[in-house]
Structure 1
């Protein structure tokens, strides 16, 4: 671009090349910075610094518009997308809105992380167990879980299978929320020997990889898939036996999703998380060792760690087998008194997250929800659930949805 002003011969104080360059480098709060500036300046000239600053601002505005324009679709591409969206909306409006099938009782699934919790969940009356044992494959710090060999993992899974068979419960091997190549290369070869009927993952690519490793293996999807609407169900359905709906949906959004999903040619079993501290974030590094030091964490032998904020709320913290830190909400999700509404929606199953909460919690919470499904006193069951919940209870987004 070309400036709309000219420099003139200086009367007293000509601008130096360094002064001009300093003004041009002031990109302020814009996303730009000046890496190289070439100036062809004979010297002895003057222009108000305000004019040079205005030139810089106008140049950056033009640059910003050019960068933004390079990412915008063309008029033809935008029109094609608009037509496609209208076509999709029309097909969704025409899809038959089928009523729920004859009211049936949802089954109960429970997330657990130890063999003791597997036993507790099974004794409590659940239908399936999502078992996520700690698989120690990280190198380095002492505070990380000890290395776990393939045979140790298989032995743990076989013991879990014996427990689940004794109680006629389906055993599902739950994989970590984040799976890198190191874990997959470790776990995939064990699938055929693991004696599990199903694997739970939180990524679409993993579902395809598991199916390629063991054709016919059932795969279910946890909340990490972020299933928000029936279009997601339609897209993911062919790869999954079961999908967990996003816990950020309101009950109205869930009901709409379920109604629309019934019109699909294939719809997997749809599950709602009803109890547990929902995962808020995952950090790649071990926050505990960063804050306290590896020696302290390794020597403490503590079963529970948490982060306390300025209001006194405690956010549970757990470390996985690769040294990542998982931080959970301070207040426990509990939809115990909403069970009749959930049943009326036609949900196939409900889930309880009991990982890290011991066998007694898994057993008791399974019993509480089993009794609620059988028509038990909801106010009394809610009191029982609150007594063993961590940090109190909340219904999350279930009633009012999210604050956009």
Structure 2
């Protein structure tokens, strides 16, 4: 086995059994979570005691442990829990943390300076500008968005020289990771807090097409390993912290095998066996595999629309049915304990004995169950494979080779010297002394006896590869004395190896976390007279409605006095017709001292970076600032020297004061209050520089996939459509073809018109109305309702559904 360390095979572990299986199967590193702040809250995860043991065990075997702290942290969690949570792992020698929250990133850099920082895929890093921004903050490794092509990953690598950790196998989210609020808004289980309910695995209807329209196949890049390596990927990340140990073992072993094959023999001799691909299919697949986004931008071939779960592999075919007896033809050797799924989806069948390929078998079906002649029967559990993986990896004994030398001489203390060379080449030598050796009166010790006694290393991390026994004279020594010598030596060796990883807690302590108290007390008194208003428009029709409302309605006087800013979607400045009309209306607003800001794309990819830069330069005189939705836009603005105001939208998440500080240090002047905090939690943050969204259909997904393309083919034209879930709830969809992504909006708008007093108490700087697909008439109606609410007379039509989002209920 090649132990090059490049590329790293990185395995998941949701339990100790999975960790053990991953190490046995050849993983260079394992990523896992403790009992807090992990993005798989429903995995078994590790207690503090277990995790400390796992860190040591990994280091003894020359592997690394990366701790996932990849959720968003609320203010109290960051202030009261994060330091004490991380400190023991930091001291033990934890190799790295994977983070999503900007505040967590800033906090760890300050309080645990010796700990490596990896940016989670939840940060939605899509290009070199965003990655460079993180590199300046001490991040050494990026897990880029899974939607990137190999060329885009290579571009980031070459531009930043950062390590690239990329997913190579397992489940794919439909949404860009970190940009999904669907589970949160529908059921209160936030994906940003590790509690995703996987709404993308449910059935939907789009323009008459029914099925699991957002359920992506699992990614499998085994055959693409040469391309992944040659494009600069440093770590092959396997998804699956919710999977069983056998899955972790099987997938890890397969990627270890073929990574080593390429490193030893190169591309010319690199071939993946069909049987190995089928083994991976037997472990888990959703209607087949796909190579992910590395070679395609999106497409229907990436989805399995007829089922969202494990599909298994073809095992038999229905020949016919007589009454309850189902006759089948066996397509492959099957084992006792294998599970077959009936084609109709009604139940399954567990084999009570082995079946051979080519045999005809009969299964007795439940009463009234019918199966179609010619239908395929799939095996969803391969019992022989699972048993083999258990025996080979899950229950494997893990020991490292050591060499030893023992010297026994009558009248002197026994001496045992142990030598260990780690997988990274580090050498450790220890020397221990035992009790004095007595001279032999009858039968002296033999080398064979001493060797047999010392070689019994049992369940320790080591075994003797070589053992030199030197007897200087006729020696007598009880076996118990030799056992004690061996135990003492191995304990000292283990201690010496692990001491090389130990740290002491950083000098920067928790007292520094209180430096925000004075900041939180410096809040302006927002009264009804100075609570401001901002409006975001995605269409020219909405912009025209805003101007007409402001000019004609008597009731708009309150609106005109409070309106300070209008955000205009970037697509309003593209095309042949809308840009000039947009600029004309913008000039009218600016004459009234109302600012015009450009709302940049939700997703910005490197291959479209030039288009975005050109847009900013073209509209430099038109706009007073920009609203950004991703780190890539922020990094790009810094690169071009943008000198106007930059405001962060709600999906640059701010759940704690450290996150605000991070963005402020990067040039953000104002923020958007988090949509996942309730009023009480918001009141614990300084919101005098934050806007609160009081109206709007909230974006719950941004996806590189396109439902239109999946169901009917690419139109290459931006537009709006709808999809419906199994309960009939309708979701608006926006196709952003300019930058090739879809935005899916919540079923009902978030409306906080009845919460104006509370918004004043939590001291937001202004209230934002976010228009998406509303018509001109609907836009004017919402403006009128808001004006009444602003004047403390809130009303809302009974026939219009709405939600308050998390403003009252919050998230766990």
Task: Tell me whether the two structures share a fold, i.e. TM-score over 0.5.
Answer: yes
The equivalent residue for 2:246 is 28
TM-score under structure 1 length normalisation: 0.70
Q: Distance in 1 between matches of 2:639 and 2:520?
A: 34
Which deviates further from its counterpart, 127-136 or 315-324?
Answer: 127-136
Query: SS of the counterpart of 1:225?
Result: coil
Confirm or deny: 8 A CA contact 1:192 1:214 kept in the other structure. Answer: no
| TM-fit CA distance, 1:306 | 1.3
Cα 1:33–1:27, aligned 2, differ >3 Å: closer, same or farther?
Answer: farther
User: 1:253 maps to which residue?
Assistant: 681
2:565 to 128, 140, 147: 128
Partners in 2 of 1:60 and 1:278 — Cα distance? 52
Partner of 2:624: 197
Number of equivalent positions: 326
Partner of 2:540: 115
Is residue 377 of structure 2 the alignment partner of residue 159 of structure 1? no
Cα distance change on mapping 1:54 and 1:115 into 2, 3 Å? closer
User: Displacement of 1:393 after TM fit?
Assistant: 0.9
- Check 1:92–1:363 CA distance in 2 against 1; reply closer, same or farther (3 A cut): same
1: CA distance between counterparts of 2:644 and 2:579? 17
Cα deviation, residue 341, structure 1: 0.6
Partner of 1:352: helix, strand, or coil?
A: strand
Q: CA RMSD in A?
A: 3.6
Deviates more, 1:179-188 or 1:317-326: 179-188
C-alpha distance 28-95 of structure 1, shift in aligned 2 (>3 A): same
Distance 2:658 2:584 in 1: 39
Is the CA contact (8 Å cut-off) linking 2:733 and 2:745 kept in structure 1? yes
1:311 to 721, 727, 736: 727
CA deviation digits over 1:178-236, x for unaligned, max 9?
Answer: 11234431232343442111111112452343255354222111112111122222222
Q: How far apart, in 2, do the equivalents of 1:132 and 1:235 lie? A: 26
Query: Which protein, 1 or 2, shows the higher relative CO under an 8 Å CA cutoff with sep ≥ 6?
Result: 1
For 1:110 and 1:60, the matched residues in 2 are separated by 63
Corresponding residue of 1:97:
521
Q: In the alignment, which residue of structure 1 is the partner of 2:707?
A: 287
Q: Structure 2 CA distance, aligned partners of 1:218 and 1:171? A: 11
Q: Which residue of 2 aligns with 1:59?
A: 396
Alignment partners' CA distance in 2, 1:96 and 1:135: 38
* SS in structure 1 at match of 2:394: helix
Which structure 2 residue ranges, 5 or more long, are not aligned? 1-24, 27-243, 261-386, 401-422, 424-499, 551-558
Q: Which has the higher strand share?
A: 2
Match of 2:332 in 1: none
For the structure 1 residues 169 and 366, does the alpha-carbon distance in structure 2 shift closer, same or farther, using more than 3 Å as the test?
Answer: farther
- Out of 676, 683, 690, the position equivalent to 1:270 is 690
Find the counterpart in structure 2 of residue 184 from structure 1. 609
Deviations along 1:77-135, whole A, 9 cap, x unmatched? 6x22xx54613323345766345425243211121112221122343534321110427
1:229 aligns with 2:566: no
Q: Whose helix fraction is larger, Structure 1's or Structure 2's?
A: 1
Change (3 A) 1:308 1:85: farther
After TM superposition, give the deviation of residue 176 of structure 1 in Å: 0.8
Q: Of 768, 771, 785, which aligns to 1:354? A: 771
Q: In the alignment, is the contact (CA less than 8 A) between 2:756 and 2:789 conserved in 1?
A: yes
Of 594, 611, 615, which aligns to 1:169? Answer: 594
Aligned partners of 2:742 and 2:388: how far apart in 1?
A: 53
- Asked if the contact 1:202/1:223 (under 8 Å) is kept, the reply is yes
CA contact (8 A) 1:105 1:373 kept: no
SS in 1 for 2:395: helix
Correspondence 1:132-151 to 2 at 5 A: 132-134=569-571, 148=574
Matches of 2:539 and 2:389, distance apart in 1: 68
- What residue in structure 1 maps to residue 810 of structure 2? 401
Question: CA 1:167–1:294 in 2, change beyond 3 Å: closer, same or farther?
Answer: same
The answer to whether the 8 Å contact 1:314/1:330 transfers is yes
**Of 356, 359, 366, the match for 2:783:** 366
Give how far 1:348 is off.
Answer: 0.7
CA distance in 2, matches of 1:53, 1:209: 49
Structure 1 segments unaligned to the other structure (5+ residues): 1-23, 39-49, 67-72, 137-147, 263-268
What do residues 19-60 of structure 1 show as CA deviations (whole Å, max 9, x unaligned)? xxxxx999722252245499xxxxxxxxxxx99954632338
Preserved CA contact (<8 Å) 1:108 1:366: no
Mean CA deviation greater in 225-234 or 337-346: 225-234
Structure 1 CA distance, aligned partners of 2:599 and 2:799? 28
Instruction: Check whether the contact 1:354–1:361 (CA below 8 A) recurs between aligned residues.
Output: no
Question: How far, CA to CA, are the matches of 1:62 and 1:275 in structure 2?
Answer: 61
Q: TM-score, normalised by structure 2?
A: 0.36
